[in-house]
Amino acid sequence: MDDAAFDHRRFLANLSHRPGVYRMLDADGGVLYVGKARDLRKRVGSYFSGKAKDAKTMALLAELRDIEVTVTNTEAEALILEHNLIKGERPRYNVLLKDDKSYPWIHVTGHAYPRLAFHRGARTARGRYFGPYPSAGAVRRTLGELQKLFLLRNCTDTFFANRSRPCLQYQIRRCSAPCVGHIGETDYARDVQNAIAFLEGRNQAVIDSLVERMEAAAEALEFERAAQFRDQIARLKRVDAEQMVSRESATDVDAVALARRGSIVCVAVLFVRHGRLLGSRSHYPKVAPDTSDDEVLSSFLAQYYLESAPPREILVEQAVEDADLLGEALTGRAGHRVEIRHRVRGDRARWLQMAATNARQGADLRAAGNAGVRRQLEDLAEALELDDVPERLECFDISHTGGEAAVGSCVVFGPEGPMKSDYRRFNIRGAAAGDDYAAMREVLERRYKRVKRGEVALPDLLLIDGGRGQRTQALEILADLDLEFLRVVAVAKGRARRPGSEQLWVEEEAYPRTLPSGSPALLLIQNIRDEAHRFAITGHRARRAKARRGSVLEDIPGLGPKRRRDLLRHFGGLKGVSAAGMDDLTKVPGISRVLAERIYTVLHAGAGTAGEKQTN
């Protein structure tokens, strides 16, 4: 590092020995790396100690131009601040865990007759939550078993409150129909408690309770009811035998293991709750070259568990730096003791081994998939006579219905396939309705102004869904922005309009190129083109639905929020309102004849359905 660019000696001379967080910045003020320290001066000073450094650290110091620090009271506070800064800044030299949906839970609601529900997101509603589960499928399978075992309702409270007879769930023996009084509140509450005990792993207690109820029913000569309890007990024993992993431990445990395949890192998390294996999920964090396994695992644990609900035990294959500190921070967040352990035996050793197997499998599969994408990129470079294999491809498409609610899409592919965090949609504002060329110009101009300002990475290849005209629009926009050096290819469906007959309009060539059907390059082009179609049309449909749902009624004078709500509730939605006659509209409280005529006129103005158009 050039001392003139950053005087580390002067900086260190004034740096505190207190705990805190440091941010390493580049020449433009961008954050290169975020780290925490028990002693800021010692930790930051270690970068300039003159000792041999790995390639990653050398590359980091070569770009370093400044350092900012934040002093904290404790190292635990520094750990949490480090996590928040990494999440917000996403520095490229840190281990970055990709954003993902929150894990799903089972929610037992706080109703007089509680329901069992799938839940994802903040756990703020009344009731109890069980999980997290590794996937939505795991939650739904468990809910299915609970319904068969305990006949608890899964309907919404509104549906429950308005029933006059049992629904289909009662007929197929998935619900005891508390909505119409087929079961009393006391008996239903007992079934709920048994379901909770099942989720907590106390299956024997559930069986004992059912045996007592079966014997009581038999003594009361309620033999059909006793038979139902008998069948419940038999099913519960089968489920218990199939799902129980450990009868020795009823604690909550996550087993975390890491595997590498070249530049690919897979971290597998195995979920065990109350001794029952719920499944696993694999993560593929973004890792700078030469980052050690210790650093990857330590960073993953901090980022992952500071964002989710940690169990009481986290098992890892090797000792983790600052494990005690991380456990302390997680304990404060979770409200119960969290322990990170690596020397384990018995069931815990088997769980850890299972997590390691899943990590190796995930890394192998990702490496095999990436190898396929790499071959496609190499074949594309050869087919289009590119100087280098492209590392970033962007594809654009426009979707609208007769010019209504036009939306443009930009999807991005790289060596690992789709880069979904870089996808973008554009609501078309300035282009005339149905003018596909103008819409494409607007999208490209908005996107590549940001590219020129350095806010977005520069692509190696630009794909446009369409023909020669769309290609011309792209070339003109890029020339205006002094980005004419970018390679542009327009992808048309061809005369047959079948997959495999695509025509590629390459820059200023007078005639389109075609690629052999089934070639790796053509498969890649079809994949990214179809993804751009999907992303554009999904955005268009959402925008169109929102416009038709809200703005039509909102623009009618005299139709306020309450009357709009009453209208939609009375007719079951906007479609029902549109199908209603003026006499029907006047039957809604608050809707006069004059207002009904106004509503009818607005909803039927310009009637006729234009076909949904996906530009080519």
Q: What is the mean pLDDT of residues 537-559?
A: 76
Condensed to tens digits (0 to 9), the pLDDT of residues 79-104 reads 878 887 887 788 888 877 665 556 78
Is the bond leading into 499 cis (omega within 30 degrees of zero)? no
Give CA–CA dist 140/146, Å, rounded.
Answer: 10
Give CA–CA dist 104/152, Å, rounded.
Answer: 19
Q: Which of 210-224, 322-336, 422-436, 528-542 has the highest mean pLDDT?
A: 528-542
Cα angle value 518/523/524 (rounded, 5°): 155
Condensed to tens digits (0 to 9), the pLDDT of residues 123-132 reads 788 888 887 7
Residue that the structure tokens 């089968």 belong to:
238
Give CA–CA dist 407/417, Å, rounded.
Answer: 23
Condensed to tens digits (0 to 9), the pLDDT of residues 553-578 reads 777 888 888 888 888 888 877 778 88
Is pLDDT of 603 > 50?
yes
Q: What's residue 417's pLDDT?
A: 83
Is pLDDT of 242 > 50?
no
The band of 2, judged by pLDDT with boundaries at 50, 70 and 90, is very low
Strand partners of residue 489: 463, 506
Q: What is the mean pLDDT of residues 239-253?
A: 55
- Domains of the chain with bracketed CATH: 8-89 (3.40.1440.10), 104-243 (no CATH), 253-364 (3.30.420), 393-542 (3.30.420.340), 555-614 (1.10.150.20)
Q: What's residue 5's pLDDT?
A: 59
Is pLDDT of 544 > 80?
no
User: Which residues make Cβ contacts (< 8 Å) with residue 338, sequence separation at least 6?
Assistant: 305, 310, 311, 312, 313, 314, 327, 330, 331
Is pLDDT of 394 > 90?
yes
Could you tell me if 462 and 450 are in contact, meaning their C-beta atoms sit under 8 angstroms apart?
A: no
Condensed to tens digits (0 to 9), the pLDDT of residues 183-217 reads 888 888 888 888 888 777 676 777 777 787 788 77
The H or E element containing residue 143 is helix 136-150
Give CA–CA dist 412/459, Å, rounded.
Answer: 9
Q: What's residue 416's pLDDT?
A: 79
Q: What's residue 236's pLDDT?
A: 67
Give CA–CA dist 362/350, Å, rounded.
Answer: 18
The band of 433, judged by pLDDT with boundaries at 50, 70 and 90, is low
Nearest to 130, CA basis, from 280, 309, 268: 309
Is pLDDT of 71 > 70?
yes
Residue that the structure tokens 């750990």 belong to:
79
Strand partners of residue 283: 267
Condensed to tens digits (0 to 9), the pLDDT of residues 122-170 reads 778 888 888 777 777 777 877 887 787 788 888 888 888 888 888 888 8
The band of 395, judged by pLDDT with boundaries at 50, 70 and 90, is very high
Lowest mean pLDDT among 200-204, 219-223, 292-296: 200-204
Q: Are strands 313-316 and 253-261 parallel, antiparallel or unpaired?
A: parallel
Q: What's residue 423's pLDDT?
A: 92
| Strands of 31-37's sheet in order across | 31-37, 20-25, 66-71
- Cα 557 to the center of its chain, rounded Å: 41
Give CA–CA dist 519/254, Å, rounded.
Answer: 44
Could you tell me if 478 and 449 are in contact, meaning their C-beta atoms sit under 8 angstroms apart?
A: no
Give CA–CA dist 214/351, Å, rounded.
Answer: 37
Q: What's residue 131's pLDDT?
A: 75
Q: What's residue 551's pLDDT?
A: 57
Average pLDDT, the chain: 81
Q: Which two tokens stand for residue 528?
A: 């990214």
Could you tell me if 40 and 18 are in contact, meaning their C-beta atoms sit under 8 angstroms apart?
A: yes
Q: What's residue 492's pLDDT?
A: 87
Is pLDDT of 223 > 90?
no
**pTM for the whole structure:** 0.52
- The larger pLDDT score, comparing residue 409 to residue 242, is at 409
Helix, strand, or coil (residue 275): coil
Beta strands in 420-571 (DSSP E): 424-427, 461-465, 487-492, 503-506
Q: What's residue 63's pLDDT?
A: 86
Check residue 422 and report its DSSP letter.
G
Q: What's residue 615's pLDDT?
A: 44
Condensed to tens digits (0 to 9), the pLDDT of residues 442-458 reads 889 899 888 888 788 88
